Amino acid sequence: MPELPEVEITKRKLEPLIVGKRILSLERKKILKLERRGKAILVHLSGGKILGFHQRMSGKLLIVPRGWKDKHTHHIFKLSNGKDLLMHDVRKFGVVWYGAAKKVLSDPYFETLGEDALEIKFSKFKNLIRSKTGKIKQFMLNQKNLAGIGNIMADEILWYVKIHPETAISGLGDNKIKILWSSLRTVLKKSIKLGGSTMRDWLHPDASEGGYFKKRYVYGREGKKCFRCRSKILRKKIAGRSSYFCPRCQVLY
């Protein structure tokens, strides 16, 4: 579940807690800095090594007292300040990388990752869309196009910009593309400001919850009234995922 907002929040909250510390269980490597790439967090270590995490469906990174764990704890890294950094993952889909920076970054996930959804400039965004075919929801979910957007953010952004998730990319005019780019940034930043989406498993590193899901626009609101026009929100399988949209605000032409 963790998408760009949740991963960015995890990175920001981890930084002051672990940068400058050493990982005792990894040859006492010193933590130099943290970086987010798409939905992954890279912990840059001394000696040119990287410790990377992808939380996937249910993973979360927590800072806990030394020795704390439960049945869903799968990776524990002892820190020099007496705390532990751990990967807690109920569904066990999370990925952990460790090794020389070049080796870690040669993983197919990083080598095929597209432009970051929060950082991409409008000119590149426009050229990217113009070079693709297919439906807009599929485009947004493909990490080779835009890194970091998942199902929740895709539906939220498309509702915000009034675009049906099955809209053909070829049907988007220049003005609509610019509004989509702007809306994409607006919704992502709002989610980050509100602490991301805590639905079931994901939490901040300090175990606090995010507040965006309680204020979401459309995702998971099937049968409820649209906040703009009061029509009932629909759910449909699109690009292999449950998609939520307003049939009146997001007309498919």
CATH for 116-245 (3.30.1360.200, 3.40.605.10, 1.10.260.40, 1.10.8.50)? 1.10.8.50
Percent over 70 (pLDDT), the chain: 100
CA angle 24, 30, 34 (to 5 degrees): 115
Spatial contact of 206 and 14, defined as CB atoms under 8 Å apart = no
Tokens for 214, please give them: 């309680």
pLDDT at 30 over 90: yes
Residue of 112, 119, 108, 94 lying closest to 35 (CA atoms): 119
Residues marked as catalytic: 2-3, 39, 241
Model confidence over 54-77: pLDDT tens digits? 998 888 999 999 988 888 898 999
Q: Measure Cα distances from 50 to 22, 75, 177 in Å.
A: 13, 15, 37
CATH class in words for 4-111: alpha beta
Model confidence over 232-248: pLDDT tens digits? 999 999 988 899 999 99
CA angle 157, 160, 166 (to 5 degrees): 65
Q: Would you list the domain boundaries of the chain?
A: 4-111, 116-245
SS (H, E, C) 140-183: HHCCCCEECCCHHHHHHHHHHCCCCCCCEHHHCCHHHHHHHHHH
**pTM metric for this prediction:** 0.94
